[in-house]
């Protein structure tokens, strides 16, 4: 019989900031992984559009569709018993207008158990964040490096100056975002933003002074071996472990050692 757990809520984020309790967040894209991360105590699961790079094998997140996000968000959010689950709005599902964003985010909240959406952009996206929040859709902002703008500078580079990023974070929070992801910026700037904002900052490649941290789960588990950015800590090297396990299975099948008596029906 599973024990009762109190699910994380949006107001917890503000309370945790006030208490200086750090927030842990990881990406998840499917039921079994989300279940494991939730059971391990992660506070927030992000069904990120990193789906495109981590799961689908693309070089960018641009190809991910809203239908695909709904499909994965439905599975991941259904698995979470405690963690708050946030889904990314993918490229071109919200940039056209606040109206388009409302439709897209509405689908996420109606067709999955996600409690919030995340979108990239600060000052420029403030009217969209406001429209979503006014409609009862909690929004997590995302400033600093914005992967959906990868084509603008021809690579994964921070598109805005430090002062612009600070203004973006303020704009997202003022428009009603309950938390703001800050990606790949100097620790000192992240510390400044974290000090000034009343909502939590969740850093990725933004140093230790943020209110929380997020990583792509495939990166921290060592499932994508070719990609090892400076800001990722590998907590386990699953790549080699999976290869060793599968090679043992292949050899057992080839040699007739699998299945054995105990793995067979009488």
- Report the nearest approach of ligand KIV to the CB of residue 215 (Å): 8
For residue 8, is the peptide bond before it cis, meaning its omega torsion is within 30 degrees of 0? no
Contact between 216 and ligand KIV by CB under 6 A: the answer reads yes
- Specify the stretch interacting with ligand KIV by CB under 6 A; choose among 48-56, 76-84, 156-164, 228-236: 48-56
Answer whether 86's CB lies under 8 Å from 117's CB.
Answer: yes
User: Any catalytic annotation for residue 74?
Assistant: no
Contact between 214 and ligand KIV by CB under 6 A: the answer reads yes
16 contacts: CB under 8 Å, gap ≥ 6: 22, 23, 43, 200, 211
- Specify the stretch interacting with ligand KIV by CB under 6 A; choose among 45-53, 162-170, 221-229, 234-242: 45-53
Contact between 204 and ligand KIV by CB under 6 A: the answer reads yes
Which neighbouring-strand residues pair with 27? 46
HEC string for 23-84: EEEEECCCHHHHHHHHHCCCCEEEECCCHHHHCCCCCCCCCCCHHHHHHHHHHHHHHCCCCE
- Specify the stretch interacting with ligand KIV by CB under 6 A; choose among 44-52, 159-167, 169-177, 185-193: 44-52
Quick one: which of 12, 38, 43, 88 contacts ligand KIV (CB under 6 A)?
88
Contact between 222 and ligand KIV by CB under 6 A: the answer reads no
Which member of 4, 59, 120, 183 is catalytic? 183
115 contacts: CB under 8 Å, gap ≥ 6: 9, 10, 84, 85, 86, 109, 138
Q: Would you say 12 or 120 has its CB closer to ligand KIV?
A: 120
User: Interface with ligand KIV by CB under 6 A: which residues?
Assistant: 27, 46, 48-50, 88, 181, 204, 214, 216
């Amino acid at each position: 019989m599973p024990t009762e757990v109190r699910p994380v809520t949006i107001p917890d984020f503000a309370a945790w900031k006030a208490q200086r309790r750090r927030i842990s967040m990881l990406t998840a894209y499917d039921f079994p992984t989300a279940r494991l991360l939730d059971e391990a105590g992660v506070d927030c699961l992000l069904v990120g559009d990193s789906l495109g790079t981590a799961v689908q094998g693309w070089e960018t997140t641009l190809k991910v569709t809203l239908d695909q996000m709904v499909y994965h968000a439905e599975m991941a959010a259904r698995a979470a018993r405690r963690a708050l689950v946030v889904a990314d709005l993918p490229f071109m599902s919200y940039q056209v207008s606040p109206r388009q964003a409302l439709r897209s985010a509405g689908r996420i909240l109606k067709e999955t158990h996600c409690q919030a959406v995340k979108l990239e952009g600060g000052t420029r996206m403030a009217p969209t964040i406001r429209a979503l929040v006014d409609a009862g859709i909690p929004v997590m902002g995302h400033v600093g490096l914005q992967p959906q703008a990868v084509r603008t500078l021809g690579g994964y580079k921070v598109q805005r100056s430090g002062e612009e990023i600070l203004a973006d974070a303020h704009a997202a929070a003022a428009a009603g975002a309950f938390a703001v992801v800050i990606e790949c910026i100097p620790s000192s700037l992240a510390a400044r933003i974290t000090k000034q904002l009343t909502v939590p900052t969740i850093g990725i490649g933004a140093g230790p002074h943020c209110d929380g941290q997020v990583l792509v789960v495939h990166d921290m588990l060592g499932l994508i071996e070719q990609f090892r950015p400076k800001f990722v800590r590998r907590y386990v090297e699953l790549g080699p472990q999976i290869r060793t396990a599968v090679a043992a299975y292949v050899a057992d099948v080839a040699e007739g050692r699998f299945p054995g008596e105990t793995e067979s029906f009488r």
